[in-house]
Structure 1
Amino acid sequence: MPSLVVRNRSDIIRYIEANPRNTHRAGILFAIAMTSVFADAYDLGSLSIGVSSMSAELGLTATQVGIVTSSTAVGALLSALAGGIIADRTGRYRLFIICAVLLVIAPLGVALSVNFWMILFFRTLLGVTVGLDLPVAFSFMAELLTKDTQAKLINLWQPVASFSNIVGVAIALPFALAMATGHLWRVTCGFGALIAVIALVLRLMYSEESPLWSAKHQKLETAAKVLGTTYGIDVRVEPDGSDDRELDPNKRTYSVGELFSPRQRARTLLVSVCAFVQQLQYYGVGFYVPVIVGLIFGTDMVSTIVATICTQALSLVGGLLGVRMTSKLGLRKLGLTGYAVVLVCLLAVAVIGIGGDDLSLIPVILVAVMLAGTSFGPGPLSKTLAAVVYPTEIRGLGTGWAESMGRLGSIIGLFFFPVLLAAVGAKTTMLVIAVFPLIAITTLATTSLKGENAMRSDPSVITVGGRP
């Protein structure tokens, strides 16, 4: 086993920054952190395919359906910023375990719900849990990786999310083939609890504190132990008596205002726009893929499920391609390319229309390509950007803020899409949604990131319109 002698906290930090986190245990920890993404995305897929049976069984009105489907996003909006703040102040591990327990309880509660208020409570609880969990997970992932690999590997969250969506929808296929769809939503939502149990066991077995956070906030002996466990090395502590007990001499407690300080303001603007727009367009259209497919296939559940799986499979391919191209293009060009694809597809669907007497699959194909474009660039930017551009001291805060902005976008998409669709039709709805990727393209194009390399890790300088 390799050995390391540390004399102060700075030795630990220098080691972390200089060495790739490619050990077996670090890989396991990275995968465990990804379970947060899986749980969040699974909810989207599982409920989207079962929303019709849920509405019929519980006797929900259209407004109640909108409230229930958006309640998870509301819960996450309320808790995401708090999760980031807690993660920065108390560490990553404790909150990680608490959230894993709640991720088991919430889906079970949803599956056993008997009325509107019960399902609203448990779906809101699920959202609160995810909101707390994701900032911790992304902060943890960023601190396990080197700056050269951060953006590329964290971008894996997007194909993981697409795969989770596929699982959430595919579980319904055997029931649809057997024409047993009466309680379909209970099965698909409840299965999420089983996945969460596995995640909880893995977290209890392998999870530990982030070595970088530990080095900056815990005792030297504790930080050395965390470093040794994470990297699989023998760490010996030989204090040199240097006064490095307080790396932050002012012991600052960072508030949301820090995100809008002159140094961080441009980062926060870019992070906010990318997170908000991506979630709005994805949840506004992606969640309702089964509904859009149903406009063409009618009540044929099997065809709807298969078409939805194919759509999400193309999204998975787009996400994997985005991961592969991250190092070559950088996050900014990745985002511009993806948003351009999304914009073109939305405009094309608006021109062609959906449903009616036209049974063409072209609109479904365009929606599938739109989701692939989202997974290629906008999706990764919505979460990865915040995880890599903010320093450790406010990384949880920054990722929490990004999650809040994203959830705000998803709430608008989830709640207002069906209302807008019913009021003005598919063509106008797609035109309205198309405005948002145009805003994101404009923001990315007018935001100068000094050193494109930085967009693959941590930009030292970001300017908007040429001003710092």
Structure 2
Amino acid sequence: MTDLTAESHVATAGSEPTGETLFIRQAADVATLVNNSTQARSNAHIVIAIALGGVFLDAYDLGALAFGMKDVTKEFGLTPAGAGMVASAIAFGAIVGALIGGYLTDKIGRYRVFMADMFFFVVAALACAFAPNEYVLAGARFVMGLGVGIDLPVAMAFLAEFSKLKGRGNKAASIAMWCPTWYAAISVSYLLVLFFYSVLPEAQAGWLWRIILGFGAVPALLIIAVRSRYMSESPVWAANQGDLHGAAAILRRSYGINAQVAKEADLTPAVPVRRASWRNYGELFKGIYLRRTLLATVTAVASAFAYNAVAFGLPVILSSFLAQSMLTTILVSLALNLLFAFVGGLLAVRLVPRLGAWRMTVAGYGCQFVALLGLALVGRPDDGTQAAVSVAMLALFLLGQGFGPGSHTMTFASLSYPTSLRGVGVGMNQTLMRGSSTLSLFLFPLLSAALGTNVFWVIGFAPLAGLLALLLVRWEPSGYDVDAEDFTAEPPARPQ
């Protein structure tokens, strides 16, 4: 444990925060202060909330087209392949964006990337709203995907690096908050669909998808305005770059900690700081990080494949398999997301400090496998009882996603690597996960048309793969000080 010298300090009006002065001698001291922060005056919660605002927009834009695909297909006369192109364009853009964003997050800092990526959403949302054909729409969705891909690595870095290590609201819980935020965004998109569906004249019903996609520019502009006032660089990242004075200033501003750099500060640490480089993507597959990377990758890919097939296809499943009206489809989809996916995400945030991410992800995948098995066995419901069973299985799937892989695959991706590798770690994870999403979104319409409800047998292999990976690699990131691996030659004691 690094020794932090403290002495009483009385501030004059307009000076730095009052209270004892904590002297920083090396980068590890900054991480220690963040990990143990209990400051009542901390603004770190605001930073975390703003980071989650970016996640909210990511989810909104990814899910906004779910109800509009039928209208898009009809308006542009799309074939199944054309519909797959439009549906998967945003995920393909996120693949490229995550790879670039992960590197830039580590290279130029969390703050600069965070402040820039919202402009992708504004431009793309407006382009989608006025798209004259499927090619412009697909191109705009690709640009939107670039914003999603760039935003997630930096958002996860902020969530990890502005949270304490243990206890309620720890790093794992903060990162898990991305999941209920995601489902809240999906629910908002459903509510907007419901609102505009009820107020638009029938002759203008085809405008619905354009309004929903264009509306994404509104929260993006609000987030830009809020970020410009409250955001700051990650103090841990700044310290890793050798800027101890900058890190101390951030601690004073964001945490109310009266941090000062000691005169005898060690600006040349014994363990060289890993600098940002494209080669760091290769570091993810070396040493202690290999097994963590494999676990994070397999669980993320499996989760994305299953979730995108079920969640994106949820309106299709409800309207086609259960023969419901559009209004009923919207209401049931909204209820399923709020009552099960969203609630599951809240359970993950509350329970992960005590139960850990590994156990909750195993339980979540188990629920998903049972749900997909039930949907496959029921097939197309012939009566009300079978329809109720199908809806119950969808609810079980979304609940398992919420408290299990939906929340914690991002925990594995973010907390398996220290600060110097966190951007590329999340970037690599998101690149591979979005590859799975692209494949899932493109294949689901084709597989559903060819196999009907037998498609659930295919989707069922995804949670099985996730379970197998978890049983082979028993890595628990919650409560583990992974950032210390940047400052020591040997990692802190914890089974790898």
For the criterion TM > 0.5, the same-fold answer is: yes
Q: 1:310 to 1:14 in 2, by over 3 A?
A: closer
Q: 1:241 to 1:413 in 2, by over 3 A?
A: closer
Q: Could you tell me how far 1:223 is from its partner in structure 2? A: 2.3
Q: 1:257 to 1:357 in 2, by over 3 A?
A: same
Q: Name the count of aligned residue pairs.
A: 460
Q: Could you tell me how far 1:160 is from its partner in structure 2? A: 0.9
Q: 1:251 to 1:425 in 2, by over 3 A?
A: closer
Aligned to 1:334: 360
1:135-146 map, 5 Å: 135-146=153-164
Measured on the aligned residues, the alpha-carbon RMSD in Å equals 2.2
Aligned to 1:425: 452
Q: 1:372 to 1:86 in 2, by over 3 A?
A: same
Rounded Cα–Cα distance in structure 2 between residues aligned with 1:320 and 1:166: 15
Aligned to 1:434: 460
* Greater displacement, 123-132 / 146-155: 146-155
Task: Give SS of 1:6's match.
Answer: strand
Rounded Cα–Cα distance in structure 2 between residues aligned with 1:283 and 1:50: 16
Deviations along 1:189-222, whole A, 9 cap, x unmatched?
1111111111111111111100100111153322
Aligned to 1:309: 334
Q: Are residue 35 (structure 1) and residue 53 (structure 2) matched?
A: yes
Q: Are residue 273 (structure 1) and residue 273 (structure 2) matched?
A: no
Aligned to 1:324: 350
Q: 1:462 to 1:125 in 2, by over 3 A?
A: farther
Rounded Cα–Cα distance in structure 2 between residues aligned with 1:379 and 1:368: 14
Q: 1:23 to 1:345 in 2, by over 3 A?
A: farther
Rounded Cα–Cα distance in structure 2 between residues aligned with 1:104 and 1:21: 36
Q: Could you tell me how far 1:177 is from its partner in structure 2? A: 2.7
Task: Give SS of 1:361's match.
Answer: helix
User: 1:166 is aligned with what amino acid?
Assistant: S
Rounded Cα–Cα distance in structure 2 between residues aligned with 1:241 and 1:155: 35
Q: 2:226 aligns with which of 194, 197, 202?
A: 202
In 1, are the aligned partners of 2:299 and 2:465 still within 8 Å (CA)? no
> % of aligned pairs identical?
33
In 2, are the aligned partners of 1:382 and 1:402 still within 8 Å (CA)? no
Deviations along 1:255-282, whole A, 9 cap, x unmatched?
2110010221000010001110111100
Rounded Cα–Cα distance in structure 1 between residues aligned with 2:316 and 2:274: 54
Rounded Cα–Cα distance in structure 2 between residues aligned with 1:32 and 1:379: 20
Q: Are residue 98 (structure 1) and residue 98 (structure 2) matched?
A: no
User: 1:130 is aligned with what amino acid?
Assistant: V
In 2, are the aligned partners of 1:421 and 1:429 still within 8 Å (CA)? yes
TM superposition score normalised by structure 1: 0.92
Aligned to 1:83: 101
Q: Could you tell me how far 1:173 is from its partner in structure 2? A: 0.9
Deviations along 1:281-331, whole A, 9 cap, x unmatched?
000111110000111454721111101101111211111122222122211
TM superposition score normalised by structure 2: 0.87
In 2, are the aligned partners of 1:271 and 1:382 still within 8 Å (CA)? yes
Q: Are residue 172 (structure 1) and residue 193 (structure 2) matched?
A: yes
Unmatched segments (≥5 aa) in structure 2: 1-17, 483-491
Q: Are residue 363 (structure 1) and residue 384 (structure 2) matched?
A: no
User: 1:9 is aligned with what amino acid?
Assistant: Q
Q: 1:327 to 1:237 in 2, by over 3 A?
A: closer
Rounded Cα–Cα distance in structure 2 between residues aligned with 1:338 and 1:320: 14
In 1, are the aligned partners of 2:160 and 2:414 still within 8 Å (CA)? yes
Q: 1:349 to 1:13 in 2, by over 3 A?
A: closer
User: 2:25 is aligned with what amino acid?
Assistant: N
Q: 1:340 to 1:96 in 2, by over 3 A?
A: same
Q: Could you tell me how far 1:18 is from its partner in structure 2? A: 3.3
Q: Are residue 445 (structure 1) and residue 466 (structure 2) matched?
A: no
In 1, are the aligned partners of 2:285 and 2:293 still within 8 Å (CA)? yes
In 2, are the aligned partners of 1:311 and 1:365 still within 8 Å (CA)? no
Q: Are residue 346 (structure 1) and residue 372 (structure 2) matched?
A: yes
Q: Are residue 123 (structure 1) and residue 144 (structure 2) matched?
A: no
In 2, are the aligned partners of 1:45 and 1:168 still within 8 Å (CA)? yes
